[in-house]
Amino acid sequence: MKLSSPSFPNLVASAPQLDTVLMAEDFIKENSGEYTPGETFRKLPKKMLWRTFKIILAYLENSNKILLCKDNTIMWIWNPELIEKTKHLEVKL
């Protein structure tokens, strides 16, 4: 499996377990904009390999749930309530 994103290019590895992804997702959501990837990795409640963490970040970035800010902090941007409210709007290109 190959995952890549602008911030984490050329990741090649096996997929992390769902509970690990959800744990990282919850931690990032609760601490949005506070920590860099390295700080987040060290503060996670459950330890994992750095490679696994990079795969999770690439997945979250590719699914538009997070952004890496200019100051290198991780920002949670996924807002399903807002998406539900705007489904009726038309997008003009």
Please report whether residue 90 resides in a domain. Answer: no
Which carries the bigger pLDDT value, residue 15 or residue 4? Answer: 15
Alpha helices in the chain, H assignment, sequence order: 18-30, 37-43, 50-62, 80-85
Count H helices and E strands in the chain, helices first. 4, 4
| Per-residue pLDDT tens digits for 1-12 | 455 666 666 655
d(CA 18, CA 63): 15
Burial 16-28 (b: 16+ CB within 10 A, else e): beeebbebbbebb
Number of residues written out for the chain: 93
Give the model's pLDDT for residue 79: 83
Please report whether residue 53 resides in a domain. Answer: yes
| Per-residue pLDDT tens digits for 24-67 | 999 999 999 999 999 999 999 999 999 999 999 999 999 999 99
Q: Which domain covers residue 26, as residue numbers?
A: 2-85
Please report whether residue 92 resides in a domain. Answer: no
**What amino acid is encoded at 50 in this protein?**
W
Number of separate domains in the chain = 1
